[in-house]
Amino acid sequence: MRYLTIGSDPARQRRVSRIALGAMLMGTTTDEATSFAVLDRYLERGGTFIDTANNYAFWVNGTQGGESEQLLGRWLKSRGVGDEVTIATKVGGRPPRPANQLSEHLEGLAPAVVKESLARSLDNLGRDHVDLYYAHIDDFAVPLEQQVETFGALAKDGTVGLVGLSNYWTWRIERYRALAAEAGLPGYDVLQYHHTYFRARTDLGGLRSKDGSIGVAEGNLLSYLRAEPGLTLVAYSPLLSGRYVRADRPLDESYDHAGTRARKVALDEVVSETGATANQVVLSWLTGGEVPTVALVGASSVAQIDESLAAEDLELTPDQRARLDAAGHN
């Protein structure tokens, strides 16, 4: 297993595996026995970074979420797992009442909501602190100054280790950082966005607004990350829910363009040369590139997590990486 250090403050840094395990559907779609087996195998193979959120997965059974955190809490307790594993969770996307689908009416990031939700998450997880706490989605109704103060105070008192942001516009990220520095408060250290080898059209993919996709790591965000090497990108849905390897799961319309076709040719070539699966090539490409990146994978079986973790043994040659990078640029 390969690792990297996240966090700019030496007192708060965490050393984590470059492949993180997403627990989004654990406790709902993925039953407890299977979830425990996947978590056990991930830990056995050296995995140290598990991701969830306070709203996972409300849409499955029409709840407000929390099932994933609760399952993780049971697993952590039953296995005696402590601080050797980094647990990340999120706030801001929980529906205020039971719901079956995402809507614009969410809990938001008001200070009282963040603190109340953190207390609930800690109770679910059976912990007195969370290693990485994300703002799940920006809340324009709460001034950034107030967001900075709320998350910074939680980090200063030790209830939160590192702060992360997910699904923010890049200009808001930079403004958040400047405000935190001005206030002398901990800023963010990790950004979580959808990122994969194929590139979605930004007017169609990811979380959408009237200005386009918010949640996709497009050129503007990737350029920012290259200029700020102290930050880490956590790439969610890097395997497109199996669409790289499963003919029964075609790509959606956001990937229907010439760039995808060019990238598929390059990807198929490297798959043939390495003998690896397309999933493994994508994960190796993501985690070994210029931008410090953790690939956040889901798994509903031990076989799936085994395949993902085997990508750690795949070292792309400079020529293979260059061809993958260049495809679709012309």
HEC string of 213-278 equals ECCECCHHHHHHHHHCCCCEEEEECCCHHHCCCCCCCCCCHHHCCHHHHHHHHHHHHHHHHHCCCH
Eight-state DSSP code of residue 300: S
- Grade residue 325 by pLDDT with cuts at 50, 70 and 90: very high
pLDDT (mean) for 252-274: 95
pLDDT, greater one: 205 or 277: 277
* CB-facing half-sphere around the CA of 84: CA atoms within 13 A: 9
Pair 9, 161: CB distance under 8 Å: no
Q: How far is CA 318 from CA 5, 12, 13, 288, 315, in A?
A: 24, 34, 30, 11, 9
Domain ranges of the chain: 8-255+277-316
Given a cut of 70, whether residue 206 has pLDDT beyond it is no
pLDDT band (50, 70, 90) for residue 51: very high
CA distance 267 to 288: 15
What is the residue type of 130? V
**Mean pLDDT, rounded, for 214-218:** 85
Q: Helix (H, G, I), strand (E, B), or coil: what is residue 5?
A: strand
Nearest CA-CA partner of 163 in 172, 178, 145, 176: 176
Whether pLDDT at 154 is above 90: yes
What are 111-123's pLDDT values in tens digits?
999 999 999 999 9
Q: Is residue 229 within 8 Å of residue 292, measured between CB atoms?
A: yes
Interval 61-105: pLDDT, tens: 999 999 999 999 999 999 999 999 999 999 999 999 999 887 768
Q: Which CATH number fits domain 8-255+277-316: 3.30.70.20, 3.30.465.10, 3.30.300.30, 3.20.20.100?
A: 3.20.20.100
Residue 201 confidence (pLDDT): 84
Q: For residue 294, list its beta bridge partners.
A: 234
Other CB atoms within 10 Å distance of the CB of residue 62: 11
Q: DSSP class of residue 23?
A: -
Q: In this predicted structure, what is the pLDDT of residue 211?
A: 64
Over pLDDT 70: what percentage of the chain?
A: 97
Instruction: Pick the more confident residue, 304 or 229.
Output: 304
pLDDT for res 328: 84
What is the enclosing helix (H) or strand (E) of 88? strand 86-91
pLDDT of res. 202: 74
Q: What is the mean pLDDT of the chain?
A: 94
Per the CB < 8 A criterion, the answer to whether 233 and 193 are in contact is yes
Residue 203 above 80 pLDDT?
Answer: no
- Weakest-pLDDT range from 61-75, 187-201, 205-219: 205-219
Q: Does the structure show a pLDDT above 70 at 208? A: no
In angstroms, the Cα distances linking 66 to 25, 59, 292, 322 are 11, 11, 30, 42
Task: Return the structure tokens found at 40.
Answer: 């056990």
